[in-house]
Structure 1
Amino acid sequence: MSESSAASPAAALVTENDLLAELLAGADLTLEVPTCPGWTLQQLLRHTGRGHRWAAQMVASGATEALDPRDVAGGKPPADDPATGAQWLRDGAGELLDAVDAAGPDAPVWTFTGPKPAAWWIRRRLHEATVHRADAAIALGVPFEIDPAVAADGVSEWLGLLAARPAGDEPPLADGASLHLHATDDGLGHDGEWMIRGEGGRVVWEHGHGKGDAAVRGRAADLLQGTLRRIPADDDRLQVLGDAGVWTTWLARTGF
């Protein structure tokens, strides 16, 4: 999880991916996913499992540029069988962990944010599985429960991706504007608060408490879903203080 966390991203990836697989194993895969417009659960399964293999194959080859997803070996799940599709999903996460172990966690590899150690992909795929588990839970009408530390690290990982983006014409925060996120779960401490600012058209952030132009409070699970636009900006699970427009503009301009 976060670089300061003692928890294992590899173990968390297995746990989160298994929970997603369990949801899909008994599901009607033709069901539409409201939070991924145009997708069914089958497409969500294929996207996540192929993504694990995509990362694994780049790690294994020491890739210096992105692999075309169409070239991913084993990139399609077994057709029309939720149980075998779920196992295919589990196997994909295993392939990534095996690839990182074989290459070494510090081996350089292509990522969205430039060359990084191979272990970077474990954390990235952990949070991809986490968010798509939320998508599946929403589609199936079941609660999305997650360890608060994993959810909080998901927020941090997402902010790290946003901070790596170059300046654009429509930055998420105007220069000097600020947004404070505060997880209300017990025990998160420093890892459960984020101060985010706009600087030169880019996003900068750090853990900590402070007064922002807007503040959003809620459980880490709900902040994760809120920042990734899985629940509405004004959802009752989130308390928005200050200038709500800062929060809604941020969400409108932080699509992936």
Structure 2
Amino acid sequence: MDLTILYRGPLASCDFDCPYCPFAKRRDSREQLRADRAALARFADWAAHQKGDRLSILFTPWGEGLVRSWYRRTLAELSRLPHIQRVAIQTNLSCRTDWLTEADLDTLSLWCTYHPGQTPYDRFLAKTRGLAGHGARFSVGIVGLPEHLEHARRLRADLAEHVYLWVNAAEGHAYSDAEAAVWTELDPLFPFSRRPHQSAGLPCRTGESVISVDGDGTVRRCHFVRAELGNLYDGSYRAALRPRPCPLTACDCHIGYVHLETLPLYDVFAGGVLERIPAQVPVRGAAAPPP
């Protein structure tokens, strides 16, 4: 079976404090960090033993995972397993990058976000160049707030042309056509992020070939639908895997709507769905596929 897993354990602490971030904000206690470490170890052990399946795994922690040694080690170890097709993580790239020498970089990829005001620009850019020096596959993105525009332009100018710069529509921000055109100049795929996608009743790969898993092993179709499909560790989720329409009115997050079968994004991101790397870097100024 080919299965894509979005894993989100209990980790919620982050070394950044972005005012626009929708994720939880807390300082994890030692007990909470131990619980997260144990949950991740249990998940990694399960994944390592699923040799009859082909797994692709995206880690989407509420907090920043790569500043924790257990996330770096787990990604490197999973990347070296032959039945793991892809392992990726969302990160602010504040961690060191030397751990990548222990990973299989044909399997491991990074989804990196630059947060202006949270880290010096030159430090972040140096980290991206460190990734490139290791031969890592990665995308870089930014939230499309008006005050971020010049940062995004600078980033696009300084990144290598083959590195995809994505722009996330800011939550709750309505973009005029003129504003959207400016962001689309930087990210030709921005129209897919500009507005929530109407999804009610539409076919979606989540719940069939894509699942969400929390630290306790509870399986849901995705992070945004709370109905449970079973548990990862007792195998009860498998009987629930089947095609099913989306029960929500709309989907406004890339890690959700990328799996909608009515959108062309599996073709756009072929080979890089989890790490948000297009099959071909979009040509700026060219028309994007219709969202």
TM-score (norm 2): 0.26
TM-score (norm 1): 0.28
- Decide which structure has greater helix share: 1
- Decide which structure has greater strand share: 2
